[in-house]
Amino acid sequence: MNKNQFDVIVLGGGAAGLTAGIYLSRAKAKALVLDTGMPGGQMILTYEIANYPGIEKTTGYQLSATMAKQAKSFGCEVKSNVKVKSLQLEGETKSVTLENGDIFEAPAIILATGGRSRMLRVSGEEEFKGRGISYCATCDGDFFQDKEIIVVGGGNSALEEAVSLTKYASKVTVLHEFDHFQAFEHAVDEAKANPKIDFIMESHITEFVGENQLNKVKYKNLKTGEISEKEIDGVFIFIGYEANTDFFKNGPLELNQWNEIISNESMQTNLEGVFTAGDCRAKRYRQITTAVSDGTIAALNALNYIHQKETQPV
C-alpha cells in the first residue's frame, strides 16, 4: 500500500468526520480525513457548547481541536485546507483528486461534508457579506463592540447567539418572520430576559443598504405589508444550514429535494462502499451529538464493509 492508498477516506473534518477518523484509526484501519477548511466544520463557529455529554461547558474551537488531536493520536491522517478537483465514487476503488494533483484511493469512503449557513438571498446580501453581514457570532462578534445589531432567525442558534452577542453590542434586535419562536423554551426565556434584546416579529428583511459598509436594512411586516427602515451597524443571520453537496449534484449519488444525501440507518448510500454522516445527510436533527453518532455508525459499517471485501472468496 503506497502513501496515497487508504482503507477508508473521510471527506469532511467536522464532528462527524473526526469521529469517523477516531473510530477507524483506533481499529487499526489506515484512515485519511480531508477537509476544505480547518478541522471542526460548523462546530468551530459555536461560541459555547453546554449540552455535550460529559463536558459541562466548552467552546466549539476547543472541542474541535480535541477531536482532531484524538484522531491523530490513533494514527489518523488529517489534511486541512484542501481543494477537491474531482471524486470517483463508483467501482471497487473510490478516489479523491485534489487541485494540486494528489490522488487518494480507498475501497470505502465516508462523505461528511457538513453544511453551510443559509442565506436570506435578498438584495445587498452578497455585497455586504463581511462588511456588516455575518453568519458567525464567534468570528465577528467583537467587531461590533458598543454597536447596534440585528439577529435574524427564531431557532436555538439565533436566540443563543443573540444572547452571546450582548457581550459586545449595545443593543441586539431579533428579527423573525413568524409570531413565535422555534427555539427551546429555555433559549426563548433567556433571550426575553436580557435587557439588551428587543424583538421584531412577523417580519423579514427585504434589502440591505449602504455604501462601503452596511448601515441600514429595509424590512417588511408580513402581516400588514408595511415596509420599514432601520439604521444598523451589523446583521447576524442564523436561519439554518444547507448541505454542502454541490459536488454531488447530477451524479450517481442519490440526494433528496433539499440536496441532502440519502442513506439508511447504517449510513450506507445508494452506492456500494460509499457512506455518509453528519449535516450533509438527510435527517431531522442536526446537533454535534447526532453528527458524532453518524460518524461512529458510518465508521463501523465502513470497517465491516472492507472486512467483508477482504474475506470474500476470489
Q: Could you write out the DSSP letters of every residue in 26-65?
A: HTT--EEEE-SSSTTGGGGG-S-B--STT-SSB-HHHHHH
Is pLDDT at 27 greater than 90 in this prediction?
Answer: yes
Share of the chain above pLDDT 90, in %: 82
User: pLDDT tens, 83-108?
Assistant: 999 999 999 999 999 999 999 999 99
What per-residue confidence (pLDDT) applies to 314? 62
Check residue 243 and give its pLDDT. 94
Q: Which residue has the higher pLDDT, 20 or 3?
A: 20
Give the mean pLDDT of the chain.
94
pTM given for the model:
0.80
Q: Provide the pLDDT for residue 251.
A: 86
Non-local CB neighbours of 290 within 8 Å, separated by 6+ positions:
283
Q: What percent of the chain has pLDDT over 70?
A: 98
Closest CA to 53 of 238, 266, 293, 285: 293
- pLDDT per residue over 266-314, tens digit each? 999 999 999 999 999 999 888 899 999 999 999 999 999 999 988 877 6
The three-state secondary structure class of 306 is helix
C-alpha cell at 42: 460548523
Tens digits of residue pLDDT in 207-217: 999 999 999 99
Cα distance between residue 172 and residue 149, in whole Å: 5
- Angle of helix 288-311 relative to helix 15-26, nearest 10 degrees? 40
Is residue 215 classed exposed, middle or buried when 0-12, 13-18 and 19+ CB atoms within 10 A define those classes?
middle
Q: Catalytic amino acids?
A: 136, 139-140
Q: What is the pLDDT of residue 311?
A: 85
Contact 14, 294 (CB under 8 A): no
Pairing, β 241-243 against β 115-117:
antiparallel
Q: Is the pLDDT of residue 204 over 70?
A: yes
Model confidence at 3, pLDDT cuts 50, 70, 90, reads low
113-146 pLDDT, tens digit each: 999 889 999 999 999 998 999 998 877 898 999 9
3-state class of 235 per DSSP? strand
Q: How many other CB atoms are there within 10 angstroms of residue 16's CB atom?
A: 35
Order of strands, edge to edge, in the sheet holding 227-231? 203-210, 214-221, 227-231
Phi, psi torsion values for 96, nearest 5 degrees: -125, 125
| Nearest partner of 76 among 139, 125, 120, 18, judged by Cα | 18
**What is the structure's pLDDT at 162?**
96
What three-state secondary structure class fits 67? Answer: helix
Three cell numbers written together for 16: 462527524
Q: Classify residue 256 by its DSSP letter.
A: -
pLDDT band at 1 (very low <50, low <70, confident <90, very high): very low
Residue 16 has, within 13 A of its CA and on its CB side, a CA count of 27
Q: What is the mean pLDDT of residues 195-217?
A: 97
pLDDT score at 38: 87
User: How many other β-carbons are positioned within 10 Å of the β-carbon of residue 38?
Assistant: 14
Pick from 47-51, 252-256, 308-312: least confident: 47-51
Q: Is the pLDDT of residue 54 over 90?
A: yes
Range in 3-7, 66-70, 187-191 the model is least confident about = 3-7
b/e for 182-214, b at 16 or more Cβ within 10 A? ebeeebbebbeeeebbebbbebbbeebbbeeeb
Tell me: pLDDT of 32 over 50. yes
Per the CB < 8 A criterion, the answer to whether 256 and 284 are in contact is no
Predicted pLDDT of residue 2: 52
